[in-house]
């Protein structure tokens, strides 16, 4: 600090002390600002810029079209379908992740046998590479030789094999299930970490005050989990909303466009239809949705904190 202060003084010997400190501050945050600009602002600005052109992907050459890309998108059924699919997927998988994650965290918080083993095993899906996980699930879901059909028919739950990936609503259900399976461990570890810090005496006090197990859950556990759930849901919602590889690998957006979310639509515009401008426009719109969603969430978050 003193060194940097001396440097600042050498650079601007005649400036007032407050100005010197201002310069020093600017100097110190400059690297962060530069990196931030390089990795966030530049791509963002260029995406917005690209979305105003009609561009052929292989050559990246094209002409200015203004807002035409947006107009076309907002008027197209495909875009709104993708948006709706995206919402269904995000809400569906998020709800499952949170319910499953909280339930398992509660279970793992109990003194059950093999608790530490179970705690490590639960992380398995989260650590597994998406490609591997999806390949395994495709095998499980396969309509001809998949173990799921086989098991369910063996148990007498159904009489004919189901097409889990190639028909609706099975495909959406499958995607949601696999997404929940893959990402619920994140909820488990976050919630479990918080559960372990809730003091026992709160539960004991509630017990003496006459609360049963459900009362203790709603009056102690849930309020104590509120902050961590807020963060977890926020993060998972963002990540699920822009999820690409899991869905692309599992269904490719099909059947037809039944599981085609916005990120898949971006991909389709960019590399199947070879129009980078349209793809950028989808990406920018997607970002706007998420921005609105986040603002809403932050306002809610601030309100609940105070």
Interface positions with other proteins (CB under 8 A): 199, 201-202, 204-211, 215, 219-220, 223-224, 226
The label of the residue with tokens 């569906």 reads: 92
Using alpha carbons only, give the angle 180, 285, 43 rounded to the nearest 5 degrees: 95
Beta carbon nearer to other proteins, 203 or 289: 203
Tell me 142's DSSP state.
-
DSSP strands (E only) in the chain: 53-56, 61-64
| Minimum gap (Å) between residue 163 Cβ and other proteins | 48
Bridge-based pairing of strands 61-64 and 53-56 is antiparallel
Cβ 113 to other proteins shortest distance, Å: 17
Closer CB to other proteins, residue 82 or residue 220? 220
Nearer to other proteins, 24 or 232 (CB): 232
Other CB atoms within 10 Å distance of the CB of residue 144: 8
No. of helices (H) and no. of strands (E), the chain:
16, 2
Shortest gap between Cβ of 193 and other proteins (angstroms)? 18
Shortest spacing between CB 104 and other proteins, in angstroms: 24
Query: How many residues would you count in the chain?
Result: 306
Choice between 139 and 213, CB closer to other proteins:
213
What gap in Å lies between CA 292 and CA 242, rounded to an integer?
15
CB atoms within 10 A of CB 149: 21
* SS3 state at 47: helix
CB 195 within 8 A of CB 101: no
CB of 214 to other proteins, least distance (A): 11
* Closer residue to other proteins in complex, CB, 209/245: 209
- Closer Cβ to other proteins, 58 or 210, answer by number: 210
- Distance separating alpha carbons of residues 107 and 224, to the nearest angstrom: 17
CB of 291 to other proteins, least distance (A): 30
């Amino acid at each position: 600090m003193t060194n940097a202060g001396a440097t600042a003084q050498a650079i601007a010997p005649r400036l007032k002390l407050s100005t010197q400190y201002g310069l020093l501050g600017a100097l110190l945050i400059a690297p962060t600002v530069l990196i931030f600009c390089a990795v966030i602002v530049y791509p963002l600005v260029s995406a917005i810029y690209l979305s105003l052109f009609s561009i052929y992907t292989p050559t990246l050459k094209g002409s200015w079209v203004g807002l035409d890309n947006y107009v076309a998108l907002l008027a197209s059924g495909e875009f709104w379908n993708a948006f709706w699919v995206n919402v269904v997927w995000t809400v569906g998988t998020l709800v499952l992740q949170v319910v499953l994650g909280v339930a398992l965290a509660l279970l793992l918080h109990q003194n059950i046998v093999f608790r530490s083993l179970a705690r490590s095993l639960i992380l398995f899906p989260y650590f597994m590479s998406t490609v591997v996980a999806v390949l395994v699930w495709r095998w499980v879901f396969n309509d001809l030789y998949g173990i799921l059909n086989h098991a369910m028919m063996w148990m007498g739950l159904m009489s004919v094999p189901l097409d889990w990936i190639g028909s609706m609503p099975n495909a959406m259900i499958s995607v949601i299930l696999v997404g929940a399976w893959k990402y619920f461990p994140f909820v488990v570890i976050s919630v479990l970490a918080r559960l372990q810090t809730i003091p026992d005496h709160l539960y004991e006090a509630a017990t003496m005050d006459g609360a049963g197990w459900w009362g203790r859950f709603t009056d102690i556990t849930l309020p104590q989990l509120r902050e961590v759930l807020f963060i977890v849901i926020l993060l998972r919602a963002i990540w699920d909303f822009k999820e690409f590889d899991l869905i692309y690998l599992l269904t490719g957006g099909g059947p037809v466009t039944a599981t085609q979310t916005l990120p898949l639509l971006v991909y389709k515009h960019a590399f199947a239809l070879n129009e980078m401008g349209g793809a950028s426009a989808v990406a920018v719109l997607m970002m706007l949705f998420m921005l609105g969603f986040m603002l809403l969430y932050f306002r809610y978050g601030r309100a609940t904190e105070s």
